[in-house]
Structure 1
Amino acid sequence: MQNENIEIIVIEDEEDILELIEYHLEKEGYSATGFLSTENVEQFLEEENPSLMIVDRNLPGMEGSEFVAYLREIGYDIPVIFLTAKDKESELEEGYERGGDDYMSKPFSPKELTLRVKALLKRSGFLMRQERIKYKLLTIDLIKNDLYIAEEIIPLTNLEFNLLHTFMKHIDKPLTRDFLRDEAWGSDGDGVNDNAVNVAINRLKNKIDPQNEQNYFHPVWGVGYKFH
């Protein structure tokens, strides 16, 4: 599906509404991750690269728009749709000032929400391209084909970059060597044997995690590798 690499965070403290939103997003082909409060969301943002957030304003702990304002302050520009029962003009204005991009008042139509998600993604350019993918200490720039670790550029060959990009698109999923050949080597993969794939992964590991502190690569017996 066209949307399957688009990850959407939903923060909603009413579990039935959270499940309803997740169901409709996944039906449209998006990947949805739900949270009942703002707790753990920042850690998730550090490790994943979601394209959009749907945030209820009435949350336990930190109010939704305050949390978004905080994220904006520390540098996250991820698009945000607020869900709210707060629909007075002053409250709407407050939400936009704190970093909201769109608003839906409760009760809302799930169909309208998915249409607004699509429109906001299109407006922000996420449906056309993702410029950067972040995971743990790694950031890859898909426009320049550069890898950054803690702001420092790490030189990679084209093959190594393609290999890393493939793994970062499929975090925690076992990938076969055949799949890696198709994705990273492309039409040149026909003459590449399993040992050459192992060697390439080992070279990549030595560049991005020489001391194996992050332990990114995990052999999967009888399958291939997964990146974690």
Structure 2
Amino acid sequence: MEKPLIVIIEDEEDLLELLEYRLSKEGFDAEGFLSVKNVEKFLEEEEADLLIVDRNLPGVEGSEFVKKLRLKGVDIPVIFLSAKSKDEEIEEGFLRGGDDYITKPFNVNELILRIKALLKRANPQKYSEVIQYRDLKLFPKSRKVFVEEREVDLTKLEFDLLFEFIKNRNIVLNREYLLEKVWGKDEVFQDKTVNVAIKRLKEKIDPQKTKNYIESVRGVGYKLC
């Protein structure tokens, strides 16, 4: 499973570097920006999980930038990290699209705990300790899988494939989607890559062929049943 991607917009370079370092130590991917310039383009190209946004930024005030994102339909969770600490300023931050608000000076450990809590609320399937579907149990952090309490040994690719199906249960996923999400959009694969991988996954989680976890939808793709 990919690490959560946290985007930080902070014009104090020393603080930005500290946050990037601490977040990477906590198992996150962190991408820092000293202003909002190029952030929108980055968000169009990368699937960010959370934004940490200062409000006193050069050019565009942080909460105005978030408001602009919200009007465009961007729903990535946002934590404001700001020296603006008056009650009306904090309220303004929430009204403009913030999900949480931390005033400076702040405790980095508290920030990390708030990040983890917000990620779990925003996407419980992705960040919970255990994900269950029928008699399947997935543990994202340890990448372990159990079928009827029996551990099944899956490759990284097989785990990611099963995880993608469970996140999108009852939705038909076509081969192009799976190739991009599981294999990586920059790679080139043969037409039968997805078919072969799903066949191997099914053999491992349903060796008796009695449970029909994943079914083929003719001419479209596959879905979890």
Q: TM over 0.5: same fold?
A: yes
SS of residue in 2 equivalent to 1:71 = helix
Q: Say whether residues 1:73 and 2:86 are aligned partners.
A: no
Alignment of 1:49-198 (within 5 A): 49-125=47-123, 127-129=124-126, 143=168, 144-146=171-173, 156-157=174-175, 160-168=176-184, 184-185=197-198, 187=200
In structure 1, the residue matched to 2:35 is: 37
In structure 1, the residue matched to 2:5 is: 7
**Unpaired segments of 5 or more residues in structure 2?**
128-163, 204-225
CA, structure 1 residues 188+10, in 2 after alignment: closer, same or farther (shift >3 Å)? closer
Q: Quick one: which amino acid aligns to residue 89 of structure 1? A: D
**Partner deviation per Cα, 1:117-157 (whole Å, 9 max, x = no partner):** 001111112x5239xxxxxxxxx9952244xxxxxxxxx34
Given that 2:120 and 2:126 are in contact with CA atoms closer than 8 Å, whether structure 1 keeps it comes out as no
Q: Quick one: which amino acid aligns to residue 62 of structure 1? A: V
**Unpaired segments of 5 or more residues in structure 1?**
131-139, 147-155, 191-228
CA distance in 1, matches of 2:7, 2:39: 8
CA distance in 1, matches of 2:120, 2:114: 10
CA drift at 1:186: 6.3
Task: Provide the TM-score with structure 1 as the length reference.
Answer: 0.62
CA distance in 1, matches of 2:119, 2:90: 21
CA drift at 1:161: 4.2
Task: Provide the TM-score with structure 2 as the length reference.
Answer: 0.63
Q: Quick one: which amino acid aligns to residue 128 of structure 1? A: Q
CA distance in 2, matches of 1:84, 1:118: 19
SS of residue in 1 equivalent to 2:181 = helix
**Partner deviation per Cα, 1:96-116 (whole Å, 9 max, x = no partner):** 100011111111111111000
CA, structure 1 residues 115+176, in 2 after alignment: closer, same or farther (shift >3 Å)? farther
CA, structure 1 residues 33+185, in 2 after alignment: closer, same or farther (shift >3 Å)? same
Given that 2:8 and 2:33 are in contact with CA atoms closer than 8 Å, whether structure 1 keeps it comes out as yes
Q: Quick one: which amino acid aligns to residue 67 of structure 1? A: F
CA distance in 2, matches of 1:106, 1:188: 49
Given that 1:145 and 1:161 are in contact with CA atoms closer than 8 Å, whether structure 2 keeps it comes out as no
Q: Quick one: which amino acid aligns to residue 49 of structure 1? A: E
SS of residue in 2 equivalent to 1:128 = helix
**Partner deviation per Cα, 1:46-82 (whole Å, 9 max, x = no partner):** 1111110000010000000000000000100111000
Q: Quick one: which amino acid aligns to residue 115 of structure 2? A: V
Runs of 4+ in structure 1 deviating by more than 6 angstroms, as ranges, are 174-177
| Root-mean-square deviation (Å) | 3.1
The count of aligned residue pairs is 162
In structure 2, the residue matched to 1:210 is: none
Given that 1:84 and 1:106 are in contact with CA atoms closer than 8 Å, whether structure 2 keeps it comes out as yes
Given that 1:163 and 1:184 are in contact with CA atoms closer than 8 Å, whether structure 2 keeps it comes out as no
CA, structure 1 residues 109+76, in 2 after alignment: closer, same or farther (shift >3 Å)? same
